[in-house]
């Protein structure tokens, strides 16, 4: 019998998933994505994305590897140094870590902006409301009064005083085209993606190869710890981080297990 068979597939509330289950984090993730789809937050395609992520996470050992922790610390330093940081939210992110994103936004004084691949007014509003229910005070993305250049219409829609004006953008679980287009706008880009070979981490200034469920609370912990650090110290952390090393280490772990 596989580990999956030990928990009923139709768990109604996540509290029913036993915390001592060996695949607890994976079961919790799947449950949140299913609920996200049921509640009109996550697109059906988000389930495919989650399946891919889950396979990479299994190979990573379902833990934050040391280079991912370095990336999470560098991300915190970038966000603290930024004049206008924005955290981008799609349907998977909203289902998996709504409260954690609101907390991070609070700690680093960033905006939250809903930015969808499969954009509909209903999903935009449902996700914004879901974030507010989880502690977000101001949710951007609904104005859509600016466009990311060189990207097709729906995916390019952003707020002029949000992602468009941002100097540092966190784009988790993002598709490669938009990550490239944001990079083309000269923004400092932090990407969270469990696949180190995906185009988004490949173009990111800070690629975080980790499960977003672990990554966001860890970025927040680093940001809290660095809250009193001066600009020189924050710049040192940013400069010490090596994106190539982080990508190579993640690929090595996935391919060879070390
Ligand atoms: O909500 P929408 O309409 O904006 O659509 C969002 C999805 C995720 C469907 C869309 O952006 C998409 O199709 O993304 P991709 O191209 O499948 O890329 C998602 C990436 O996120 C993949 O490389 C996955 O490995 C990775 N991923 C999935 N789950 C996690 C993850 N990375 C970190 N943590 C996860 N839990």
Whether 236 maps to a domain, the answer reads: yes
Q: Which ligand 1 atom lies nearest to the CA of residue 29?
A: 36
Measuring from each residue's beta carbon to the nearest atom of ligand 1, which residues come in under 6 Å? 29, 43, 45-46, 49-50, 52-53, 56, 90-92, 96, 116-118, 173-175, 192-195, 198, 211-213
Q: Does residue 52 have a known ligand-binding role?
A: yes
Same-domain check for residues 89 and 29:
no
Enclosing domain of residue 202: 66-252
Q: Are residues 48 and 142 in the same domain?
A: no
CATH number at residue 145: 3.40.50.12640
Number of continuous H segments (helices) and E segments (strands) in the chain: 12, 8
Q: What would the pLDDT profile of 184-221 be if each residue is shown by its tens digit? A: 999 999 999 999 999 999 999 999 999 999 999 999 99
Ligand 1 mean position, distance from CA 42 (Å): 11
For residue 215, tell me if it sits in a domain: yes
pLDDT at 146 over 50: yes
Q: Is 30 annotated as a binding residue?
A: yes
**Pair 198, 180: CB distance under 8 Å:** no
Show Cβ contacts of residue 241 under 8 Å, excluding neighbours closer than 6 positions: 70, 71, 73, 74, 206
144: left (phi over 0), alpha (psi -120 to 50) or beta: left
Predicted TM-score (pTM) of the model is 0.94
Burial of 75 (0-12, 13-18, 19+ CB in 10 A): buried
In a domain, 3, yes or no: no
pLDDT, mean of residues 213-241: 98
Q: pLDDT band for 4, please (50, 70, 90 cuts).
A: very low
From the alpha carbon of 96, which atom of ligand 1 is closest?
36
Judgement on whether residues 47 and 72 belong to the same structural domain of the protein: no
What are the residue ranges of helices labelled H in 3-109? 24-38, 45-60, 66-81, 91-96, 98-108
Atom nearest to 54 CA in ligand 1: 29
Same domain, 129 and 32: no
């Amino acid at each position: 019998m596989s580990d999956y068979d030990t928990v009923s597939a139709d768990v109604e509330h996540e509290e029913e998933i036993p915390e001592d289950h060996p695949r607890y984090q994976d079961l919790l993730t799947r449950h949140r994505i299913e609920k996200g789809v049921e509640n009109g937050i996550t697109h059906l395609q988000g389930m495919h994305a989650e399946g891919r992520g889950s396979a990479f996470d299994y190979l990573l050992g379902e833990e934050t590897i040391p280079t991912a922790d370095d990336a999470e610390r560098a991300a915190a330093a970038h966000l603290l140094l930024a004049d206008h940081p924005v955290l981008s939210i799609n349907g998977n992110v909203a289902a998996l870590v709504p409260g954690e994103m609101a907390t991070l936004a609070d700690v680093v004084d960033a905006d939250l902006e809903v930015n969808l691949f499969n954009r509909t007014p209903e999903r935009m509003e449902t996700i914004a409301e879901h974030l507010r229910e989880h502690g977000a005070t101001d949710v951007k993305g609904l104005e859509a009064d600016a466009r990311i250049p060189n990207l097709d219409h729906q995916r390019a829609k952003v707020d002029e005083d949000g992602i468009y004006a941002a100097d540092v953008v966190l784009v988790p679980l993002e598709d490669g085209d938009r990550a490239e287009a944001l990079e083309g706008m000269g923004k400092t880009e932090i990407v969270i993606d469990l696949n180190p070979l995906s185009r988004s981490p490949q173009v990111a200034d800070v690629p975080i190869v980790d499960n977003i469920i672990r990554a966001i609370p860890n970025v927040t912990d680093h940001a809290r710890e660095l809250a009193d650090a001066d600009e020189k110290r924050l710049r040192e952390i940013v400069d010490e981080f090596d994106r190539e090393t982080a990508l190579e280490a993640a690929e090595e772990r996935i391919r060879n297990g070390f």
